Amino acid sequence: MEVAAFALSGRLFTAELRAGTARELPVPGPVLDPRPSPDGRHVAYVTRGALRVVGAEGDDDRALAEPESAEVTYGLAEFIAAEEMSRSRGHWWSPDSDRLLVARADETPVRRWWIADPANPAQEPARVAYPAAGTPNAEVRLFLYALDGARTEVVWDRVRHPYLARVHWSPDGSPLLLVQSRDQRTQLHLVVDPASGTTRTVHVDEDADWLELLPGVPAWAPDGRLVRIADEGGARVLAVGDRTLTGPRLHVRAVLDIGGDDVLISASSGAKAPSGGAGASEIGEIHVYRVNELGTERVSDGAGVHSAVRCGAVTVLSSARPDRPGAEVRVVRDGKELAKIASYAATPGLSVRLRLTEGGAQRIPCAVLLPSHYREADGPLPVLMDPYGGPHGQRVVAAHNAHLTSQWFADQGFAVVVADGRGTPGRSPGWEKAIRNDFTLALDDQIEALHGLAGTHPLDLDRVAMRGWSFGGYLSALAVLRRPDVFHAGIAGAPVTDWELYDTHYTERYLGTPAENAQVYASNSLVDAGQLVRGDATGPDRPLMVIHGMADDNVVVAHTLRLSSALLAAGHPHEVLPLTGVTHMTPQEQVAENLLLLQVDFLRRSLGLTRP
């Protein structure tokens, strides 16, 4: 591949990689997700719901698939696939560049919500299709399109397995699909006949809790064997064909590349790694390994978070380290470094003082950050728990830049603790799946980590707060509502407060559907039927700051508004900070900076602290 394609401000560009030149192609826009064909002669792209193909020189632009209505798109991932399945694309070239697999998403069944901008009352609310838990999803179908527009539908049992989770098409075999049941406890690996569109099942996975979707799989090995990542014997392992190639000492995270005689993977230490010596548990580290039937060889070296891409004998290895900012990128062939790729990223204005450790009887992975100039004689510090704490959100990592915000809070006079309890990734399937039907276990583990660290770190347990965003925001609000005996203040950013308002694929994976598990939804939510859900909590009402973007189309602002109404009805002290025009995250520099300052001010007021 010597041609790249990219979209910039909705316009289509191609780049000649050897020449280092780029040009704009005159096509209708706005352009989304352009993908060059393997032979570099065409570019497929999406605009206004239609999949189009244009010659790499800008010639012969034409529509292959056009939407039948405003509710239909071709060639794009639907909301659930992009948000929860990590499937960010909706069209795939054949290895021969003569056909494409194209996803068709019809949002007609999905319920419509309205997201308004109260700061602009003359502006109409945005109408969005949001598949909340227990409600209909978009209907997704898959078609084979020839470049002349001829199409063949790919057929499988979409009633039993409606989720199109993965599509793989390489020179090593026929198209390969991974489809899931709605409850995500069964998934099929399907081979597609490109001539007829019929499918054949080559492997079935089942799990009593749920099946995790992982990067790089399923795929074909060059010899035609199926490559997958499986949960077996309490471990997450690499399987090629009918053979398991890794054991419980490694927790496989992703398949990075499949070669003729090995598979390149990323993995962390498994829960059953020995407690000392070679292969010992390495807190927060992710490494790159070569795996084949002869054994496993680590490619990366030194503490850090490592990843790689590979083409033939050349590997590009990226390494983020705990003791220095940024990432080091090296080009390696046969174990020898050929070159380093320079980074032009800005150097952070502060240095992270990071200690990676474990807390509590469960050996919960933790990061502890103290003020840069802290000395033991300074005594105990007020504590700020700073977790994400939930599915797909590992925060305890051996990488400097991942802890910059936590270090900034530490430098304001706090001992900051980040803990990855049950439900977070990177340790074992059982660790991840312990939260089935009970998110509150994540809070129990934050408390266990806090108390486990108190004997060896300068933590003032009479001044403890928690801050977090998204699931971490939910966890922070849960902390002050359910355990005011431990937590004295909380900051909840964009929290999920009523799980019936969150999306299907994520929420049903852990809690089932509201119709089946009404009590599970009620006990895991912060608000139910307009009332606070406090469980058996006793103790004083602790102050809570709730922050939410008014334009959030992922965790909609209704979560915070319902929580605030329930808090007000209960007479619970709280502050709400609405962010006009802001979505789920806050990338705007000025907003992000001022939010940090406002959070520190709230923490100082709530914990009775004076300015340093």
Residue 204 corresponds to which tokens in the numbers above? 């079935």
pTM equals: 0.95
Q: Where are the alpha helices (DSSP H) in 401-549?
A: 404-410, 429-433, 441-454, 471-482, 504-511, 518-524
Residues 512/541, Cβ–Cβ less than 8 Å: no
Between CA 330 and CA 367 the distance in angstroms is: 27
| Confidence grade of residue 444 (pLDDT, cut at 50, 70, 90) | very high
Q: Give the mean pLDDT of the chain.
A: 96
Which architecture characterizes domain 354-607 according to CATH? Answer: 3-Layer(aba) Sandwich (3.40)
- To the nearest 10 degrees (0 to 180), the angle between helices 471-482 and 441-454 is 70
Handedness of CA 262, 266, 268, 272 (dihedral sign): negative
Between CA 285 and CA 303 the distance in angstroms is: 6
pLDDT tens by residue, 130-156: 999 999 999 999 999 999 999 999 999
Residue 563 pLDDT: 98
Does pLDDT of 610 surpass 90?
no
Does pLDDT of 357 surpass 60?
yes
Q: Is the peptide bond before 218 cis (omega within 30 degrees of 0)?
A: yes
Averaged pLDDT, 218-236: 97
Residue 273 pLDDT: 66
Decide: helix, strand or coil at residue 60.
Answer: coil
Residue 612 pLDDT: 65
Between CA 191 and CA 178 the distance in angstroms is: 9
pLDDT tens by residue, 537-571: 888 999 999 999 999 999 999 999 999 999 999 99
Residue 37 pLDDT: 98
Residue 279 pLDDT: 38
Looking at the chain, the whole-number percentage of residues with pLDDT higher than 90 is 94
Strands ordered across the beta sheet of 163-168: 163-168, 176-180, 186-192, 199-206
Does pLDDT of 335 surpass 90?
no
Handedness of CA 429, 434, 439, 442 (dihedral sign): negative
pLDDT tens by residue, 494-539: 999 999 999 999 999 999 999 999 999 999 999 998 899 988 888 8
**What would you report as the CA-atom Rg of the chain, rounded to the nearest whole angstrom?**
25
Residue 286 pLDDT: 98
